Structure 1
Amino acid sequence: MSSTVTYTVSGMSCGHCEKSVSEEVAVLPGVTSVAADAKAGTVTVSSDGPLADDQVRAAIDEAGYELVGRSA
């Protein structure tokens, strides 16, 4: 069962930010696509199944940004 979730991310301000976050989240198991939008401050993640928020948070942290919210 596929899943798409949009996360609110603090600190992104440019295309480089979008790329950094996208690359870190994209390597999580089951992720099929990632769309980061610095202007909106969001990252939309599609996956083969539900992802643990902790995994997504860790990937965003690794990129140097902060996950501050989530909406389905």
Structure 2
Amino acid sequence: MNNRDFERASDLEERWRRDAIADHARAMAAWEGKTVADSAECCAVCEDPIPQGRREAWPGIQTCVACQEDLDLAASRF
């Protein structure tokens, strides 16, 4: 590898980091102002009940842990 390759890799890493931070900020903004009452009692994907503790920890949550993990994994592939 030469210096130009390292510069490109560094630039790409920096761009990914900025994009990840922006994605996180957008996700957190979506939760702002939500209350437990905004949380679904059942998962929007599989319709299993969402435990009260999860609803309290993530006001406005719409998915169970398993489905959210699947969604996060799918999103990370892009």
- Answer yes or no: same fold by TM over 0.5: no
Bigger proportion of residues as strand: 1
Where is the helix percentage greater, Structure 1 or Structure 2? 2
TM-score, normalisation: structure 1:
0.28
Which protein has the larger Cα radius of gyration, Structure 1 or Structure 2?
Answer: 2
The one of the two structures with greater contact order (alpha-carbon pairs below 8 A, sep at least 6) is 1
